[in-house]
Amino acid sequence: MESKNYLDDISEIKSIMNKSSRFMSLSGLSGILAGIYALIGAAAAYYIVDTSTRGYLILDGAVFRACFAILIAVAALSILTGIYLTTKKAKKNNEKIWDNSSKRLLFNFLIPLVTGGIYILIILNQERYGQTAALMLIFYGLALINASKYSLGDIRYLGLIEIGLGLLCAFVPSFGFWFWVVGFGIMHIVYGTWMHFKYDKK
Amino acid sequence: MTLITNLNKAFDHRIRLGIMSILMVNEYAEFNMLKEQLGATDGNLASHVKALEKAEYISVEKQFIGRKPNTRYSVTKLGKEAFKKHIDALEKLIKKP
């Protein structure tokens, strides 16, 4: 009977440590939806480029602007969905949406992500397009790994996968589009589904 | 018998375990943060904080943010070691009933 109490002590210590330093209310469902938006966006971009007069993408012109707009729309929709579903889950878990742990999570997620974003814009400006998809995957993976210390630890594995995909993609830049589809579309859906059943269903 | 003596009396309470757990993984915590996380009343929390402070396991830093008094707690080196020992002792007790 005594040892049962000690077990309670240990599990309470662990749960308080997690609760006080990590933001645990990330929604798995928002990952699934982000993946679906990415797939729809990629299909739309593919269709636009494929049916354009050139049949491939160059930096200047209407086709590029359309693809860029799709990319922004996918990102914006994913973020909005993420915020909405995470707020809902945090309310259910009695966790505050905007406290030290969520601030820390967001800040540490954004450092590699914004660095990567700025870097990609710089090299696009220098007309080096080949590595764009690889760089997006690599920096996104680094952002996830950095964030994993302040949230569900499982995000770390998604980060490692994205970095792996990014490095592979760097070898074969002409397949950048397909790596992007796998990394941002399919992986999000697979991962979101796993998270949904592991955490949300409880 | 010797296993039990490794348990630290200073941590022999749910609230004190909670305070130490929070401070082990956070650089510092404010009084209100501790209160929210542990669901304790002001008086209850204050008395446990004082006990840990007396044992020199946590340090207190009082300052003003604007006009509001603000109290920050952080764990001392001594407290870190003591708490680690306490957890080790707990884990050993679970493994060898």
pTM assigned to the model: 0.79
B6 found inside a domain: no
Q: Establish if A121 touches chain B: CB-CB under 8 angstroms.
A: no
B97 found inside a domain: no
Residue B9 is encoded by which pair of tokens? 């009396």
Mean model confidence pLDDT for chain B: 87
B30 found inside a domain: yes
Closest by Cβ to A20, choosing from B14, B25, B94? B25
Per residue of chain B (97 residues), give pLDDT as tens: 455 667 788 888 889 999 999 999 888 898 988 988 888 899 999 999 999 999 999 999 988 888 888 889 999 999 999 999 998 888 888 876 5
Residue-number span of the structural domain to which B22 is assigned: 12-79
Tally of domains within chain B: 1
At B65, is the secondary structure helix, strand, or coil?
A: strand
Strand order in the sheet with B68-75: B29-30, B68-75, B58-65
- Which sequence spans correspond to the domains of chain A? 27-200
Q: Which residues of B touch A151 (CB under 8 A)?
A: none
Contact A143, A109 (CB under 8 A): yes
Q: Say which CATH number the domain at B44 has.
A: 1.10.10.10
B74 found inside a domain: yes
Question: Which are the contacts of A188, defined by CB distance < 8 A and separation ≥ 6?
Answer: A31, A32, A34, A35, A38
- Cα(A159)–Cα(A163) distance, integer angstroms: 6
Q: Establish if A2 touches chain B: CB-CB under 8 angstroms.
A: yes
pLDDT band for position A1 (50/70/90)?
very low
Are A12 and B17 an interchain contact pair (Cβ–Cβ within 8 Å)? yes
Are B17 and A9 an interchain contact pair (Cβ–Cβ within 8 Å)? yes
B47-61 per-position pLDDT tens digit: 999 999 999 999 999
A61-77 per-position pLDDT tens digit: 788 888 889 999 999 99
Most confident of A26-30, A135-139, B87-91: A135-139
Asked if this assembly's ipTM is beyond 0.85, the reply is no
Closest by Cβ to A13, choosing from B17, B37, B93? B17
Are B17 and A20 an interchain contact pair (Cβ–Cβ within 8 Å)? no
Q: Establish if A10 touches chain B: CB-CB under 8 angstroms.
A: yes
Task: Write out the E strands in chain A.
Answer: none
